[in-house]
Amino acid sequence: MAAKVITISNQKGGVGKTTTSVNLAHCLALRGAQVLLIDLDPQGQSATKLGMDGEMGAFYFLTTAQSSPAEVVFVKQWVRETGRDGLKIIPGNSMTNSAQMILGVQERPVSYIRDLLKLFVRDGFDYILFDTSPSVGGLQERALWASDLVIIPTATEFASLDALAKTAETLRALRDTKGWRGGMMGILPTFFDGTRESKNSMDDLQSEFSDKVLQPIHKATVLRECWSEGKTIFEHAPESRSAEEYSALAKAVLKY
Ligand SMILES: Nc1ncnc2c1ncn2[C@@H]1O[C@H](COP(=O)(O)OP(=O)(O)OP(=O)(O)O)[C@@H](O)[C@H]1O
Ligand SMILES: [Mg+2]
């Protein structure tokens, strides 16, 4: 069976994209799925949040567009073990910026990343997750187009609804004008803290996106601590509410 491709996207920075990518990926793996996380953000933080180093795997994945057996083997070498059963990663680093520029110059089609997945890594995985950078551009557009499902983390503690509207608009445009066949799984409210501002944001989200609003992830110090430990929430604090909340997200993905 072909892998289901999920992109975690929001052009707003610091809303929990990488936290969601890493913890969702690990939880799916803990539940027995074979998961590949691909870091398309030049900040390379998917790897560091797993306690690993950023590397130029994403650069080679994006720029080795030939299909000779040697090149396929070369790109597959950048699929790294994470030391966690069922979870592998193609790490990124600042060279991903160069890959984005090269793609632009080469005028690659919107289907480019989906084609690369077929070429290099699609077989053998149940889920492929893309973590993306807080910006718009050819890389994001092609990653979104490659995905069956999109999850949009949205911070409820500070105004990030404008960026959400733009990201949702990008999805609509991809569907209406570029033949994208995937769908939005949902908006994932993050940094939820029960304050009036958070609750107002949730109300706004629900009136605009109704059943597309997923169960929120509360603001929690343990999620911040995971960063410095290089651990996922399931390693650092498996009994925490944050772990429960990310498990609920993984269950929703598995059912989808
Ligand atoms: N629910 C949460 N509660 C508390 N801290 C959180 C939560 N989610 C993420 N964080 C912390 O907030 C910071 C930003 O999160 P993260 O890196 O996941 O966001 P991002 O959207 O990937 O950022 P960028 O746009 O820069 O890639 C990190 O330090 C992370 O540990
Ligand atoms: Mg990030």
Mean pLDDT by 10 residues, the chain (256 residues): 90 95 98 97 97 97 84 90 97 96 91 89 87 92 96 84 87 95 96 92 91 96 95 98 98 95
The span from the CA of 21 to the CA of 39, in Å, is 9
Work out which ligand 1 atom sits closest to the CA atom of 12. Answer: 25
Per-chain residues with Cβ under 5 A from ion ligand 2: 17-18, 45
Q: Is 251 in the pocket of ligand 1 (CB under 6 A)?
A: no
Ligand 2 centroid to Cα of residue 156, in Å, is 17
Q: For residue 135, what pLDDT is reported?
A: 87
Domain extent, residue 230, equals 4-255
Q: For residue 2, what pLDDT is reported?
A: 83
Q: For residue 159, what pLDDT is reported?
A: 62
Whether 25 contacts 127, CB under 8 Å: yes
In the β-sheet with 35-39, what is the strand arrangement from edge to edge?
Answer: 80-84, 87-90, 35-39, 127-131, 4-8, 149-155, 183-190
Work out which ligand 1 atom sits closest to the CA atom of 192. Answer: 1
Write phi, then psi, for 154 (nearest 5 degrees): -140, 120
SS3 161: helix
The span from the CA of 175 to the CA of 177, in Å, is 6
Which ligand has an atom closest to residue 227 CA? 1
244: buried, middle or exposed (CB in 10 Å: 19+, 13-18, 0-12)?
Answer: middle
Closest CA to 141 of 166, 163, 161, 111: 111
In the numeric block, which tokens belong to residue 147? 């995905």
Whether 247 contacts 27, CB under 8 Å: yes
Put simply, whether the predicted model's pTM sits higher than 0.95 gets the answer yes
Q: For residue 152, what pLDDT is reported?
A: 96
Q: 105 to each of 21, 102, 111, 138, 240, how far by Cα in Å?
A: 29, 5, 16, 11, 46
State the total domains in the chain. 1
Q: For residue 158, what pLDDT is reported?
A: 65
Q: For residue 185, what pLDDT is reported?
A: 96
Residue nearest to atom 9 of ligand 1 (CA): 16
Candidate from 8, 15, 19 with most ligand 1 atoms within 8 A of CB, to mutate: 19
Q: Is 227 in the pocket of ligand 1 (CB under 6 A)?
A: yes
Ligand 2 centroid to Cα of residue 67, in Å, is 30
Q: For residue 118, what pLDDT is reported?
A: 87
CATH number at residue 119: 3.40.50.300
Kindly write down the DSSP assignment for every residue of 199-245, as one continuous string.
HHHHHHHHHHHGGGBPPPPBP-HHHHHHHHHT--HHHH-TTSHHHHH
